[in-house]
Amino acid sequence: MTERTSPLLTDLYQFTMLQAYFDQGMADTAVFEFFVRKLPSSRNFLMAAGLEQVLDFLEDLHFTPQELDWLANCGRLHRRFVDSLHELRFTGDIQAMPEGTIFFTDEPILRVVAPLPQAQLVETRLINLLQFQTLVASKAARIRLAAPDSLLVDFGLRRAHGAEAGLLSARASYLAGFNGSSTVLAGMKWGIPLFGTMAHSYIQAHEQETDAFEHFARSHPLASTMLIDTYDTEAAARNLVPLAHKLAREGINIQAVRLDSGDLAEHARQVRGILDQAGLTEITIFASGNLDEYKLAELVAAGAPIDGFGVGTRMNTSADRPYLDCAYKLQEYAGVARRKRSEGKTTWPGRKQVYRSLGDDDLMAGDFLTTADAVQSGQPLLVPVMRQGRRLAKSPALGAIRDHARAELARLALPLRALTPATSPYCVTVAEPLRLLAAEVDRRT
């Protein structure tokens, strides 16, 4: 959101570690990377998102006097350490995959190179921002693949897990391919196209359903969508016909009708027939109500005459897979590569780069995960975006990010675009230089 994020929005252990680092004088350069250990079983790919908010947070990182006073009196930290935080700013470098980039297991999408205390302090918020928007963008991308020709609108604010989640969901879904959102603040903040109809309460507030339709159409003569399932969907469609003709003679055109309950495919067929028979072929049908990529795929496969969908709760909460097994881990400290070897959570050490190869058909053919200094064919995916705590360039417009995401999805092979797990997962090869580095670190430790 637009407000400053306090550095106190973190886990306590960040401060307990920072104080121990301070006491020991440990402030050499550290390298951390954010990655996903394993794709969820139902996902063939993920889409990177959240970088802009990460860079905003890092550029604005500082403590207020009130925050420092609270830390000094919380009973967990000593005064000399707290006083040292007064001048703390982020002065590090960031390399990252551009937002909208497709990525896979173990591939870092962001690297932080900074003095150890700085790189450690920002861990929680960076995970928080990257995990959530990546989660929603990946879900939204699947929804777009399920209904490639349909109008898709984010409807999820009201059941999102808090205000920030609702707002960032509008952003993440739009960059992943949605056409817009119902969240007004997202329109002001990022220029995301806004869509909105009416609630059942609007219909119920009128004595007659047709009065509600007429009043709304006259209030919004250029763009009106009528919610027709409050009482009887087909009856409402039939009652709408004479009203639509009457309004059309006055230059007022009803744009669409919305279905929000029941058997959407069957209701859509019945309504489409009623409207077409009356010559109202230009009125489109929009549907909502507990939708996700699986339901949309069923409706598309059934040939339901639905032109657009409002998708909310199941996207904004990524209901089938509500979190990612992601991590932000130390890869190097004081010039020495480091590696975690915990059972089931072993990491690849050092600074890494991801190189992507494309086939003759321009589809993604395979990735190589290797050391950052290795020579490898393919396109390097991590690029510099921040140096010494400042952006290297103005962040790309959301529309440009959206174009990049669209191009990325187009480069996925058909099995990876499917909603079911691919028989052969995408190939990510750990290159020899990285394997040799891991062996060297293991011998040393």
Tens of pLDDT, residues 139-151: 999 999 999 999 9
Q: What is the CATH number of the domain that holds 199?
A: 3.20.20.70
Q: Could you tell me if 185 and 282 lie in one domain? A: yes
Q: How confident is the model over 195-215, as pLDDT tens digits?
A: 998 999 999 999 999 999 999
Q: For residue 77, give the CATH number of its domain.
A: 3.20.140.10
Give CA torsion, residues 145, 151, 155, 160, to 10 deg.
20
Q: Are residues 30 and 94 in the same domain?
A: yes
Q: Is the same domain home to 20 and 117?
A: yes
Examine the domain organization and report whether 200 and 114 are in the same domain.
Answer: no
Question: pTM of the entire structure?
Answer: 0.97
For residues 361-371, b (16+ Cβ closer than 10 Å) or e, as one string? eeebbebbbbb
405 and 175 Cβ atoms separated by less than 8 Å:
yes
pLDDT band for 310, please (50, 70, 90 cuts).
Answer: very high
pLDDT tens string 69-97: 999 999 999 999 999 999 999 999 999 99
Domain end among 289, 317, 345: 317
3-state secondary structure of 325: strand
What is the chain's mean pLDDT, rounded? 97
Residue 28 lies in a domain: yes
pLDDT at residue 1 in the model: 42
- As for how many domains the chain has, the answer is 2
Q: Which of 291, 317, 343 is the last residue before a domain boundary?
A: 317
311 and 411 housed in the same domain: no
Please check whether residues 440 and 349 belong to one and the same domain.
yes
Task: Give the chain's length.
Answer: 445
Asked, for residue 21, whether it belongs to a domain, the answer is yes
Residue where one domain finishes, among candidates 288, 317, 346? 317
In the prediction, which pLDDT does 3 show? 78
DSSP code of 335?
T
Task: Kindly state whether residues 157 and 300 are assigned to the same domain.
Answer: yes
The answer as to whether 144 is a domain residue is no
Q: Is residue 284 part of a domain?
A: yes
Tokens at residue 36, please? 């996903």
pLDDT digits (tens, 9 = 90+) for 268-295: 999 999 999 999 999 999 999 999 999 9
Domain-embedded: residue 300 = yes
Position 2 pLDDT exceeds 60: no
Pair (336, 254) in one structural domain: no
Q: Which of 305, 230, 225 is nearest to 271 (CA)?
A: 305
In whole angstroms, what is the distance from residue 389 CA to residue 93 CA? Answer: 6
Any domain includes 192:
yes
Q: Do 254 and 241 meet the contact criterion of CB atoms below 8 Å apart?
A: no
Please indicate, yes or no, whether residues 336 and 245 belong to a single structural domain of this protein.
Answer: no
Q: Residue 445: what pLDDT?
A: 81
Same domain, 93 and 132: yes
Burial of 162 (0-12, 13-18, 19+ CB in 10 A): exposed
Rounded Cα distance, 11 and 82, in Å: 16
**Dihedral over alpha carbons 41, 45, 50, 55 (to 10 degrees):** 120
Hey, what's the torsion of the CAs at 313, 401, 34, 37, to 10 degrees?
60
For the chain, report the end-to-end CA distance as a whole number of angstroms: 43
**pLDDT(314) > 80:** yes
| Structural domain boundaries enclosing 343 | 3-138+321-444
In a shared domain, residues 274 and 162: yes
Query: Is residue 155 included in any domain, yes or no?
Result: yes
Q: Are residues 187 and 226 in the same domain?
A: yes
Domain annotation covers residue 176: yes
